[in-house]
Amino acid sequence: MGERAEILIVEPDESRLFFYSHWDGPDLTTILQAALLRGKSRWGDSPYLARIIFNEMTQGCELETTGYGISTKPMGGTYPLIVVDMDLEVVTFENHNKTSWTFEEYVELDSTELPSILTDR
């Protein structure tokens, strides 16, 4: 069945882009953290940062024909949706007990505790 999860990229103009992973569900929180750290110089440049996030997700699998997708509509996941608001520079988790983290706060979180965020509702 997979470990399906998604990151929703919300652009400054309110357009939405969904990055889907079939297998990375429990690891997507740390993958996003690594992408935000690597892309810190592009936090104000949403097209570049979106690409950096997707590249981090697909690292090592870039030429595969399955496992990852990009859509303007949700593709469904078994984990809470991770929302990255490019305009406000915040990360939120659908149905999570904490409202949001700024990018700066998110990259400072203990990476060993990040996967538990998905189950702490």
Q: How far is CA 64 from CA 15, 60, 77, in A?
A: 27, 9, 20
pLDDT mean over 31-51: 98
Find tokens 């520079």 and name the residue: 89
pTM, entire model: 0.93
- Work out the percent of the chain whose per-residue pLDDT is above 70: 93
Q: Tell me, what's the pLDDT at 120?
A: 61
pLDDT mean over 77-96: 91
pLDDT mean over 93-100: 76
SS3 track for 85-103: ECCCCEEEECCCCCCCEEH
* Residues 102-111 pLDDT 10s: 999 999 999 8
Q: Tell me, what's the pLDDT at 114?
A: 82
